[in-house]
Structures are given as C-alpha cells and as structure tokens.
Amino acid sequence: MKRTKPIKLLGFDIIPAGLDEATSIIAHYLNRKEGNYFCLVDMNLAVQGNKSLLVKKALNDATANFPDSMGIKLALHLSGIHFNGRSRGADLMLRICEYAEKNKIKIFLYGNKKSTIKLLCKAIRGRYPNITIAGFICPPFRELSEEEKIVIINKIKCLSPDIIFVSLGAPKQEIWMMEHKDEIDAIKIGVGAAFDFIAGVIKPAPFWMREIGLEWLYRFFQQPNKVFKRIVLIPYFIFLIIKNIIEKNNFGN
C-alpha cells in the first residue's frame, strides 16, 4: 500500500489515514522492536498539544499520529487535505486485534479499570477467539511511585507482548508512551476510551451520528461532565485551525 505523507497540522505531523492505511503502517513496525508508538489525535489532544510543550513533544516524537475525530478530519479538509475515513480509536483497536489474531501476535492491555478490562477481554475473545492476550495492568488513578513504575515495566517486559493498547486518557497516555519508548520495545497505541466502547461500558453513537460529527452529543448523555470539558475547548480549537490555515497560505509548510 502506498504510504500517505504526514501533514503538518496545528504544530505536529499527522498522517491523514483511514483504518486500512493506519493498520498497514502499524504492522510495518511490528518486527522492529524499537518501542514505536502511535497517537490518535482528537480535538482535546490537539489543544493540549498546543498548550503543553511536553504533550507537543510526545506527539512530535511519535512514530505516527492519526486523525481520531471528525474535528481533526475537518481541520485537515479545511487545510486542503481530503481523504476517506479516519482512525477512530475503537475501530482501529479492533482492526489491530483482527490482524493480531491472524498473525499470532500477542497483545497487552494497559490502563482503565479492572472491571472494564474483564469485560474488554471477554468482548475481544468473543470476536477473535484465537487471539493471545498476554496480560493486563490497571494502574491506580494517581501518580505512581518509582518502585511501582519499575514493577509495571518489569511485568510488561516479562510477558513480552508485541502490541500494547494504552488507555490512560489523553494526554497522560501519550506522555506515558513517550517516556517508556526506550524501555519497552513493544508497539504502543494510545486508544483512550476504546476500552470502554469495546467493553460496552459506554455505548457508541449510531454510525450516522459518527459520520456527521455528532458522536459527542450522543456521548454527552452518558458522560456529561467529561464531554462538557471537551465542548468548552471548541472556540480555542477553531482559533488554532484558522491560525494554521493563515500560516499555511502565507508561509507554506
């Protein structure tokens, strides 16, 4: 498959790729064992990347960033980049799990809650009965001590997974992947709420709502506080898009 070149958008590179191409790119790095990691960018992560130098570094150091939300896809379209599909977290995770089952690749689950992980494992095995889930870790929702960090890293290394799906929430998961790039040679993919969606903890919006960018509205009634925090970012996100377009037209990228 011909690779799409990354585009500079809102201060970092992003590959305007749908599920097929994103899966192909990730699979390309599987045998390298270089600690490659991949970020799925939505409006929240894009804004955080423009407010925090650490988050921006995590995005710039990633092997590739893919468009997760319709907001990012719209931003790319307004910048003159048109492409089909997007790399929504839950959809990409399932696509990678399908690939893992067919190619005998071990996956690992990191983050979220134990109750959700149990439902997630059941859901994944229900879809892909021959998949190998090497294990999972649900770290506490607080800052970890250095000793706890060492124990977690050693456990992951001992189980030797090929792919780690990370669900710590953005931008925490992106920073975690960056910080452990050289310690863990498995591929790492930050999938955010994908664990909740696949496990059935959060009901996904109907397909037609996702396609017209109204997934947030459907999710609002399930997680009002979390979604509201994202809604208030919209004005700043629009400002960033306009700024990006003006800079591109004036100076080029």
pLDDT in tens, 159-168: 999 999 999 9
- Tell whether 160 is covered by a domain: yes
pTM over 0.85? The answer is: yes
What is the per-residue pLDDT across 172-217, written as a single tens digit (0 to 9) for each? 999 999 999 999 999 999 999 999 999 999 988 888 787 777 787 7
- Tell whether 1 is covered by a domain: no
**Domains: count for the chain:** 1
Distance (Å, rounded) from C-alpha 128 to C-alpha 247?
Answer: 46
Residue 11 near residue 50, CB atoms below 8 Å:
yes
- Tell whether 2 is covered by a domain: no
Q: What pLDDT is recorded for position 168?
A: 96
- Tell whether 133 is covered by a domain: yes
Burial call 42-79: b when 16+ CB within 10 Å, e when fewer: bbbbbbbbbeeeebbebbeebbbbbbbbbbbbebbeeb
For residue 251, how many other CB atoms are within 10 A of its CB? 7
Distance (Å, rounded) from C-alpha 22 to C-alpha 27?
Answer: 9
26-35, 38-47, 68-77, 143-152: segment of lowest average pLDDT: 68-77
- Tell whether 91 is covered by a domain: yes
Distance (Å, rounded) from C-alpha 250 to C-alpha 238?
Answer: 18
What are residue 221's phi and psi, to 5 degrees? -75, -15
Amino acid at position 248, single letter: K
State the residue range of the domain holding 101: 7-251
Of residues 158, 150, 193, 191, the one with CA closest to residue 37 = 191
Q: Is 121 exposed, middle or buried (0-12, 13-18, 19+ CB in 10 A)?
A: middle
Identify the band that residue 151 occupies on the pLDDT scale cut at 50, 70 and 90: very high
